[in-house]
Amino acid sequence: MKFIGVIPARYASTRFPGKPLALLEGKPIIQHVCENAGQVLDEVWVATDDERIAQCVADFKGQVVMTRADHQSGTDRCAEAARLLSAKHDFDVVINVQGDEPFVRVEQIEALKACFADQDTDIATLVKVIEQTEVLFNPNRPKVVVDCNQNALFFSREAIPHVRGAKKEDWLAHHQFYSHLGMYAYRKDVLQQLTKLEPSSLELAESLEQLRWLENGLRIKVGQTLFESIGIDTPEDLEAARQFLRNQ
């Protein structure tokens, strides 16, 4: 089975314009992502609509595919990139590597790849065991419940499941909860299906795209990681990332 990585990257971020080109340890963020993903994937492509990003990728000898500017999500940009690449490249699974996560780890990508040992897996994603109460009750950190075969049953911004009869501050002592890390891998044909699905009621209620996929009967396999996802959304996040590296 051949896995490729697609890194959606756009210049016009509201909170941090030009983010993929911002320097971290002397390299653009997008270069860190490409180099880390390239350690474990057959091919890595940056999908962008911006010539500045394309030129940056070319400068460090990366691979780029130009996509439209009107995509509403990274998933849609990945799907277009996959369609363009499939004309000349053979692959089975597309891993959507976030362009703002320069610390993406080999172990995380390997965990996604392992999910496809199950032939029934349509989509794979990652979870991490929650160890802090503030994470459990943070609506910006989606939670996941899984079945006995490690397939996702539901995603929510609420703490799920509810632990009846226990104080909320004690819930972690009574049940193992999982937070969702927004890394995805898709079978090539499934990725194209996703772009044709209309927004669903659960998705609109929770503002979580993956609920659309579950509502339409797709199977999302869950891999576990021990490592937190460290994204860069703002200039302040970039400074925090620089501080993180200085402390290593």
pLDDT in tens, 17-75: 999 999 999 999 999 999 999 999 989 999 999 999 999 999 999 999 999 999 988 89
Does 3.90.550.10 match the CATH number of domain 120-181+199-229? yes
Q: Split the chain (248 residues) into runs of 10 and give each run's mean pLDDT.
A: 96 89 95 96 95 98 96 93 95 95 95 97 98 96 97 98 97 98 96 96 97 98 92 90 83
Contacts 24+ apart (CB under 8 A), 18-23: 18/52, 19/99, 19/100, 19/232, 19/233, 19/238, 20/48, 20/53, 20/56, 20/99, 20/100, 21/52, 21/53, 21/56, 22/232, 22/235, 22/238
The β-bridge partners of 4 are 43, 94
Contacts 24+ apart (CB under 8 A), 128-134: 128/178, 128/179, 128/181, 128/224, 128/225, 128/226, 128/227, 128/228, 129/176, 129/177, 129/178, 129/224, 130/172, 130/177, 130/178, 130/179, 131/172, 132/172, 133/168, 133/169, 133/171, 133/172
Query: Rounded to a whole number, what is the distance in angstroms from the first to the last CA of the chain?
Result: 35
State the fold for domain 1-104. Answer: Spore Coat Polysaccharide Biosynthesis Protein SpsA; Chain A (3.90.550)
Q: Domain ranges in the chain?
A: 1-104, 120-181+199-229
